[in-house]
Structure 1
Amino acid sequence: MRKLLIIDDEPIIQEGLKHVIPWSEYGYEICDVGTNGRDGLHKIRLHQPDIVMLDIRMPGLSGIDIVSQLKKENFKTKFIILTAYSSFSYAKKLMGLGIEHYLLKPVVETELIEVLEKIDQERIEEQRLQEQLASYNQLHEERTLRALLEGKREHFSDSLLKKLIGKELQFVRIYGDLQQRTDQWLMERVAENDQHIKWIRKDSFDHLLFIQKDSSFAKRFITKLRKRVRENSGQGIVLMVADPVDHPEKLSTAYRQIKELMHLHFCFSEREILHYQQFTTVPEVVKKPDEEDSRKKLYHYIEFGDQQNIKKIVADLEDYYRASRFSKDRIKVEIFEWCVSLLDLIQKNYPDVDPIDKDIWANEINHQPHLQAIMQWIVKELLFISESIHGEYPTKGHIVDKVKEYIHFYYSEDINLKYVADLFHYNSAYLGKLFKKETGEYFNVYLHQVRINKAKELLVLDKYKVNEVSRLVGYSNADYFYKNFKQYEGMSPKEYQMNQRKEINS
């Protein structure tokens, strides 16, 4: 029900107005009665009624005085002026105040109803105009915000700029599906905080511009948003947060940062919040794995069914691309080329393995959503190829030859007979006897010989110290390396190094 306030200094008029029509049937209730101008002004301020019916001539303050004062205070109340005089001078003053409704005393029921109907129509029209104005202002505001993001000064709204100047502004992109329930929740929260949050739709993404009350406002809000999304859909979203800026014209910088974060998200998909400031430092330099060396190693890991090292080689490549900050298109192309060279090597040496369709590889790599998904898919496929090779050709060539090949390839790592036997699906005792019979040496002796021979090659080089050589050929204990070297060569590694260098320099 709308509120109606009556102001008249004559009790009989007050009572008459209360009962002139059944007010409730027209959607009104009488909230109070003012007995004079000052009392009426006080009660208008107290009740803030929708309509005030007031006498134009009263002691203290006249109806015109009351209307003039309330107009200054921006009251939106509608007024029906009551007068016993049909005077042009009064009408002129009323029209000057924007008052169009007045009735002569005594009030006639039909005339009052007609005025109420006019007032209702005015309200409908005002509401329509307000909605149109709000819609226009919203569109104009959105246009200005987009212009700020794009740095197009000719489309700036001075009024909005004034509201933003002097405030800390933070721009956030929502990456992911909000779902309808979350979308409604977000719309309501933004409406409740319209002075501090603006919702911007741009580049097919939803964005939030925080006009901060304090530095933690945006942080608290996006934390609630993430929680709401998980509750409604069970899925997560990614929030990309630009650095705060202190002037609206710097929002174009924030927008550029968001674009950069979109590229970075390809390599950091596990993060639910990406802050640009996390990536402002120069990234740690990660050397790209040597393609020829890593391809050769990976080929052998696949051949030998070494799942752990297959995953490690791919993980090293992933680390390199995470640090590189290349565009996702460049990363996908380089990874595919790397895979092609590996696949060619596999098919060259194992032509009978199921053909590898490179078009499928290209399509899968291209359509993976992020770097981690690409690498997981590659590992899965390489393990499948490894199982095919290892299952179909567990002893391609003589098994002892395969073990020797494995030793020459893995001498620098912590390997032993049991591990190698398990790798090739042999009983370790049987494989040990077979190896001794075929080579004349026990597995461990053969391994030491390979390591010592490799150590001799490295000791001749100027760039390695003896302790470094020990580690590079697979000895974690330097004393053990010294002992074995002297046993096989009759001198210490240092003595051997000095003798060899003398011969080279003589």
Structure 2
Amino acid sequence: MYRVFLVDDEPFIMEGLAYLIDWERHGLQIVGKAADGAEALEALAGEPIDILITDIQMPHMNGLELIRSVRELQPDVKFIILSGYNDFEYVKEGVTLGIENYLLKPVNTEELIRTLTATVAKIEQSVYKEESIKRHLEIIRDNLLYRWVTAAIESEELRNRAELLGIRLGLPGYVAGIVKLLFDQEQAEVSSRAETIAAVRTYCQRTAQSYSTEQAVFADLEGDLVLLAGLGDVDADRTGFVRFMAELQAAIRERWGLPLLVTVGEASKGEASAHRSYRTAKRMQDYYVLAPHDGPLVYEAPALPAAAEPAAPLQAELAHFCKLLSAGKKDEALAWVGEAFARLRETEGLAPSDVQNTAMAVLAAAVHHANLMRQEHEGAIGDYKHLFSQVVKPQTMQELEELVERFVDRVLFASGVSEREYSPVIRQVLREIERRYGDELSLKTLSQTFHMNPVYLGQLFHKETGETFSDYVNKYRLAQAKALLVESNLKTSDISLRVGYTDTSYFYKQFRKYYGFSPTEYRNWSKLGDG
């Protein structure tokens, strides 16, 4: 809403304007009124506005004098004059002052509305142009700061463009802090993420300026928000910066309800080594899997030791795990996974790569077993590529362990189905369900594929599986949906479509029928269990 202020010494004129025009419909809001120029000027000293509508002849201060004074206070305000005097000198002076229109009383409502519409369009064009310039400068500045903290800019170029940085060069030291927002499934849309990142960035910029003028906030190529601070006293100021980042982390978590990872790099001496602070702050993100994360993860030289020896499972141990998979021993296989992660927790000098390598090795063994059992990549156990990308995302060791356990459980469930004794035609039907569960499936279409009577095929399916065809397909689709709710960033409506339900409300009804709770409730509970 653009803000309008009315000035006229005739009360009925102001009241008439207020009621004759649907201001809200035109994106406008009357924020104040005054009976003369002096009263208006006093009110506008603390009241930002966009449009001033004023009479000319008024006691104490006329409209033209008011326009001159308001322009000094608020240069971007647009002015519209309403006057009972058709005096060319008034019109000429108004034009000189840059008014939008000079309307004669009694006011023609349609003409005033046209003037207001044109004025709003001009304001919006000005705002868009200003925002466009601001965004362009922000991109240039982000690029410049990113090149600085990645040591990809020559010192001469950096100094030549110093005025764009927003932080002084030549300070004794610099320190980088990084804010990574950990979006959950409900905030997976790119547009939603971009809006949230922009809002958090603005908050960080405002908060950083209140903490110290020697700070710059920018986004790196991964979308992380980087706060680069100048240090006067390198050690003391870095300690204060760590406290500031802890307060910022708590404030963002409370304000947006988002989990986030905050890291602080080493204190680097001089502008030429600022990249060391950024690099160590990024490196600390890997330690999210190992360290408590209520506050920032702060770089300290002894905090990044190399493991004395590899902590990932040896080939002999993995071979035993594969035997458990082949034998379909679900409880023992899951217990093996738990023991592997328990050993990691007891390993001295554990590095993040050890945890990720263990998860990768176990998942690779499970994938190999799935391939041997001829489970489809997009069928019984989902998308492998998405699975492995999950491993390197910031998460706790407990969350990573649960990711591995869920996958092993799904592999064993699917292989258990495939190992049963079925006739050749039913095995083919089951493979078709695994491969095409997201499509429209019916006994009629499958019977045509296999050149069989649909009634007989349905009876044979029920005899061998113990379930009707529709019940089996429904349960299979819901099992895939359940996994996607936990492991993917898809919206519930998109998951419904992906697993074969075109009607989202029907999907919700079936999910609740089989599991006793809604998809949204299940997703929320799974988050609580991972936290």
* TM score, norm. by length of structure 1: 0.46
The structure whose RCO (Cα within 8 Å, separation 6+) is larger is 2
* TM score, norm. by length of structure 2: 0.44
Rg larger in structure: 1
